[in-house]
Amino acid sequence: MRKEFNVAVAGATGAVGNQMVACLEERNFPVKNLRLLATARSAGRKMRFRGEEIVVEELTELSFKGVDIGIFSAGAATSQKFAPVAAQNGCVVVDNSSAWRMDVDVPLVVPEVNPHAIAGYTNKGIIANPNCSTIQLVVALAPIHKKVGIKRIVISTYQAVSGTGKKAIDELYYQTRAILNFLEPEKKVYPHRIAFNCLPHIDVFLENGYTKEEMKLVYETRKILEDDSIGITATAVRVPVFFSHSESVNIETHQPISPAEVRSMLTTAPGVKVVDDCQQNLYPMAIDAAGKDDTLVGRIRADESIANGINMWVVADNIRKGAASNAVQIAEILARDYLSK
């Protein structure tokens, strides 16, 4: 019989947490008992799981007693504080924040790319889930890196507001509605209006002139692909889209590879769906990726300005594959291959 686990979702009432609960149900994760954790503000609220109502509890140091797997999505400060507490209680944490991603003792995992790294969970009892923009990038690039080696990556992202959480989803909705009604839109979440606008600003600015989101792409990609020699530069842009991040990706490879070879290789790559038929106006779009777990790749073409260059357009649902489903996939491998013995 399949072993069942006591699971806790920290940040269950958030944009990502909600989807984590949905993914656990959809993927038929072997849950014995589910605890839903959030702030005191949400305690007492009810959420549905497998047709039953579960009461949300306040996250405290006592929340993890008897819990086998904790899936965290309540922000980096909460993870920094509570993931070690959970681990001390024997609960393995799959953490969706940036708190532990670059810790050398914490594996940073995308199941299609480096599932073997999960074994490192024994170091600290924590496994990190990468940033959403990194996840879809490495799902698309890992097969190419394996075959011909990637020397350099230039990425420009077009990121949906849901990446900022439930308040930002409301902000885009209310600003759009206000503008279409000739009213002054209110700004609460972003420093500028997001409706009918693009902001080249995600997360905080750093001393090197990049944003933290841009540098997450650089460091996390190298860690997951296990190659610090790859040159990576990024521009991260917030766009007025509710769900799914899109990325313009330019790569330079060590050995030559044609667009047809890339297309063929990605057709069989796990987690990838090639959508690439310009004659039929078929290419990846945010509205098609939303609600799904595949990473859509298209507009695959040669970069004619260099010898071994390829351009592509990569799109995935940032809340699903970019956060919730990637975390649940990690938990599945952990449960099946490491905690069932």
Tell which residue, 73, 78, 90, has the closest CA to residue 36: 73
Scan residues 252-281 and list those touching ligand NAP (CB under 6 A).
Answer: none
Interacting span for ligand NAP (CB under 6 A) from 127-135, 139-147, 263-271, 301-309: 127-135
Out of 7, 8, 16, 155, the only residue in the binding site for ligand NAP (CB under 6 A) is 16
* CA pair distance 266, 337, nearest whole angstrom: 27
Residues, the chain: 341
Q: Which residues in this chain contact ligand 3JN in the complex, by CB under 6 A?
A: 75-76, 97-98, 131-132, 159, 163-164, 202, 216, 318
Q: Are strands 69-72 and 5-10 parallel, antiparallel or unpaired?
A: parallel
**13 near ligand NAP (CB under 6 A):** yes
User: Which residues make Cβ contacts (< 8 Å) with residue 93, sequence separation at least 6?
Assistant: 69, 70, 71, 72, 79, 83, 86, 87, 125, 126, 127
Tell me how many degrees the CA angle 243-248-251 measures, rounded to the nearest 5.
140
Residue 202 site contact among ligand NAP, ligand 3JN, none (CB < 5 to 8 Å, cut-off depends on kind): ligand 3JN
Q: Residue written as tokens 């509605």? A: 177
Q: Determine whether 254 is an active site residue.
A: no
CB of 12 to ligand NAP, least distance (A): 6
Residue 299 site contact among ligand NAP, ligand 3JN, none (CB < 5 to 8 Å, cut-off depends on kind): none
Nearer to ligand 3JN, 5 or 243 (CB): 243
* CA pair distance 338, 127, nearest whole angstrom: 13
Tell which residue, 19, 13, 95, has the closest CA to residue 291: 19
**165 near ligand NAP (CB under 6 A):** yes
Residue type, 272: V
**323 near ligand NAP (CB under 6 A):** yes
Q: Determine whether 132 is an active site residue.
A: yes
Query: Catalytic amino acids?
Result: 132, 245
Binding site for ligand NAP (CB under 6 A): 11-17, 38-39, 41-42, 59, 73-76, 78, 96-97, 129, 131-132, 163, 165-166, 322-323
